[in-house]
Amino acid sequence: MNTYDFVVVGGGSAGSVVASRLSENPDANVLLIEAGPARGATETTVPAAWRGLVGTEADWRHSTVAQPGLDGQSVPYPHGRLLGGSSGINAMMHLRGHRAAIDLWEKLGAPGWGFDDLLPYYRRTERAEGRDSVFRGVDGPLRVAPARSPHPAALAALGAFRERGFAVQDDLNAPEAVGAGLLDLTIMDGARQSAADAYLRPVWDRPNLTVLTDAQVGGLVFSGARCTGVRYLREGSARTASATREVVLAAGAVGTPHLLMLSGVGPAGHLREYGIDVVADLPGVGAGLTDHPLALLFHTAGRDMPPAANNHIEVVGAARTDPSLAFPDVQVFFMDVALALPGRPGYAFGFSAVAPHSRGSVSLLSADPAVAPAIDPGLLSDERDLETMVAAARIARGVAAAAALDDWRGQEVLPGPAVAGHDQLRAWLRQKTSTYFHPVGTCRMGDSPESVTDTSLRVHGVRGLRVVDASVMPSIPAANPNPTVLAVAERASELIGAEHA
């Protein structure tokens, strides 16, 4: 059979949720198509191994175009290519968006998508045992909890945050919690829990759910303005699958705009450049790519570092560079390994401008689906982000210098104390900043001329097609985005189910 009620493209964070929730209705036949394999290498399950997955076959192995904000460098741009998608290679940090950062979505033209609207869906995703059930989910599919036995150096780092005036929070996912703490991790019984582990594997045997892996979608099929299915390649042969109700695109903030453009949905002039017939002229497809910039300070440790039991990042802090800001614009985290100092005991402080002003794009380089798109996250292209990163570096250094870390202290080796002046820090940041792996916003929902979907996530100008993934976010949550992707997907599943009831 190649006809289904729903065809979901991409089995990543959002696609796993949507396929699982839609197939709860036994009358709905659901096909989920994923380009990558059903399972990754063993390392994908080992929390401490996550950083080593970048550049492996579990990653699409894309790179950015030259980034003027990074002195013209092109940087690796990882995202997951396996069932579970980026949640199958990510750092397992589970942090919701700050209330005010999500409320911004309404102001950006997405009424009904404020924090309070999203809260029930954040709750629906998670099983956060022992937490306040008013704000936290206690019986959802994804088990989240802080590190059971945190690294002793991470606990010292938490003391350092406290010493520098960060309010230590029990639950960083409480709606307005600002400060530092042990963050929730998507680790269960010592292993990574991807969205596929939480949402798909428990329902694998449903007769109305088909999961096709190693199948790369190359384009959408339209009958007039109605999307009726997808074309995909599997085992070297071209095939199609039809959807009688809807195709749901969940190929991620890079894959989704790429597939839309390949299929004639996007900026008309750009599509015609590549000889693609225009189905709907939507200038916002691929525009507005937003990401978090990341840089790290690497320290040697003054003593041996015990091996990590978790994901290396158990403690984070959030800060405002300006007290008048509605939500923190800086995140600092402690990492119990110094990857840039191989063979030496060490640790690192990472920091990010989590409310960036820089914007970029995803655009075509070819009409051939096998050719990756041009990815331009525009990292540090807005001067304000560079200044925030300078301030963040100083905040991170302040924490690193606190007495609570004296027992662990060696010295900051990269960039080292000689890089301290404003201009030196700017120059160093232009060289060493990269992505925090959080692309969003390439098919924004809303009512602005640049929006791609309406607030029910239906693509403008066509029928039978929705986008449900990180692409639809009107702005980036000032936190790691995975929990927000899952919440958006929970809500979308409910909207789709209700429309087809």
Q: Which residues contribute to the site for ligand FAD (CB under 6 A)?
A: 9-15, 33-36, 54, 78-81, 85-87, 89-93, 216-217, 250-253, 255, 259, 437-438, 469-470, 480-483, 485
Single-letter residue type at 225: A
Please say which residue, 347 or 408, places its beta carbon nearer to ligand FAD. 347
How long, in residues, is the chain? 501
Please give, one letter per residue, the 3-state secondary structure of 343-374. Answer: CCCEEEEEEEECCCCCCEEEECCCCCCCCCCE
Q: Is the peptide bond before 342 cis (omega within 30 degrees of 0)?
A: no
Cβ atoms of 109 and 446 closer than 8 Å: yes
How far apart are the C-alpha atoms of 421 and 271, rounded to whole Å?
A: 46
Active site includes 98?
Answer: no
What's the rounded Cα separation, in Å, for the pair 288 and 274? 21
Q: Whose structure tokens read 């699958």? A: 241
Q: How far apart are CA 486 and CA 142, in angstroms?
A: 10
Beta carbon nearer to ligand FAD, 354 or 425: 354
For residue 187, give every residue at least 6 positions away whose Cβ sits within 8 Å of its Cβ, in sequence order, or none.
47, 92, 145, 147, 193, 310, 311
Sign of the dihedral through C-alpha 335, 340, 343, 344: negative
- Calculate the alpha carbon distances from 100 to 82, 97, 169, 331, 454 in Å: 33, 8, 18, 16, 22
Q: Compute the least distance from the CB of residue 139 to ligand FAD, in Å.
A: 21
Cβ at position 373, least distance to ligand FAD in Å: 10
Comparison of 254 and 405: residue with beta carbon closer to ligand FAD: 254
Q: How far is the CB of 54 from ligand FAD (least distance, A)?
A: 6
Residue identified by tokens 């200038």 is 283
Residue found by looking up tokens 């949550």 in the block: 477
Q: 200 or 425: whose CB is closer to ligand FAD?
A: 200
Query: Which residue's CB is nearer to ligand FAD, number 50 or number 347?
Result: 50
Sign of the CA dihedral 74, 80, 86, 88? negative
Antiparallel, parallel or unpaired: β 30-33 and 3-9: parallel
Shortest Å distance, C-beta 303 to ligand FAD: 28
Backbone phi, then psi, for 98, in 5-degree steps?
Answer: -65, 145
- Report which of 249, 265, 257, 259 is spatially closest to residue 287, judged by C-alpha positions: 257
**476 close to 356: Cβ distance less than 8 angstroms:** yes
Nearer to ligand FAD, 76 or 398 (CB): 76
Identify which of residues 142 and 396 has a Cβ nearer to ligand FAD in the complex.
142
Please report how close the Cβ of residue 225 comes to ligand FAD at its closest, in angstroms.
22
State the nearest-atom distance from the C-beta of 482 to ligand FAD, in Å.
3
Residue nearest to ligand FAD (CB): 12
Shortest separation between residue 92's beta carbon and ligand FAD, angstroms = 5
Name the minimum Å distance from CB 20 to ligand FAD: 13
Closer Cβ to ligand FAD, 333 or 408, answer by number? 333
Active-site entry in 94, 270, 299, 438:
438
Q: How many helices (H) and strands (E) does the chain have?
A: 10, 28
Residues that are catalytic:
438
